[in-house]
Chains A and B, each alone.
Chain A
Amino acid sequence: MRRQGFQSAERRYKRVAYPLIAVYALLCLGGTALWAFFDVDVKLASAGLAIVICIPVIALLVAKLRQFEETDEYTRLRRLRAFARAAVVTLSAVFIVGFLELFDVIDDVPLVLFGSLFFLAYGITACLQRWPGKTV
């Protein structure tokens, strides 16, 4: 993929990401309301609704990957590092909660929460990168 530089990569990402986040929020609210209001008990309809809600998130992740590839080297380094740290936090939580569930210590935890945990961890680790000292 062609390296575009920081400014154009940011513009391109924001052009795609902001509408996707808005669509996701609308789908979450609308989908949940639809699911509750109409009491959807047809498996196929529920599956379709669930997949439609996920599409903007998947598209956002693809846009994020493109942003990593197009942005400048220092920004790429910082963001990939934050992404990796968020992955460590999320996967650790997945394993801990997974085994706690397996050994009947806790009840079922909705898997979708780990997606939110990943984005939260990514945001926090991205902000916490201004440590003193050398980056590379």
Chain B
Amino acid sequence: MKNSLRLMRTERGWSQAALAEKLGVSRQSVNAIETGKYDPSLPLAFAIARLFEKPIEEIFEDESAQQLAAE
């Protein structure tokens, strides 16, 4: 799953550690989500959406759904 977390974070001038603290997760978690190594659970995805005041689908892109739509 692709996401625009890194872009949104850097736009606000936050470090990974600062974002991690706001979300109550480890810096490694933020890094893993940003690099696409880990897809967050729904509660964490909602927490991210709330923090950035954006809908979830604007932050996370479901690549498999896009592939299905293209077929």
Contact = CB atoms under 8 A, between A and B. Distances in A.
B51 interface: no
A77 B26 CA distance: 12
Given A6-B29, A74-B32, A134 B37 contact: yes
A68 B38 CA distance: 18
A73 B40 contact: yes
A75 B25 CA distance: 8
Interface residues of A, number: 16
A134 B40 CA distance: 12
Interface centre among A4, A74, A135 (most CB of B within 10 A): A74
Interface string A85-111: 000000000000000000000000000
A78 B27 CA distance: 13
Nearest to A131: B37
B36 interface: yes
Nearest to B38: A135
A71 B23 CA distance: 12
Contacts, number: 47
Interface string B1-44: 00000000000000000001101111011001100111111001
A4 to B, nearest CB: 8
B26 A72 contact: yes
Contact of B36 (A4, A73, A134): A134
B21 A74 contact: no
A116 interface: no
A7 interface: yes
Given A74-B26, A74-B40, A135-B38, 7 more contacts: A4-B24, A5-B24, A6-B25, A6-B26, A71-B26, A77-B38, A134-B38
Interface of A: 4-8, 71-75, 77-78, 133-136
7 contacts: A4-B24, A5-B25, A8-B24, A71-B26, A72-B26, A75-B25, A135-B37
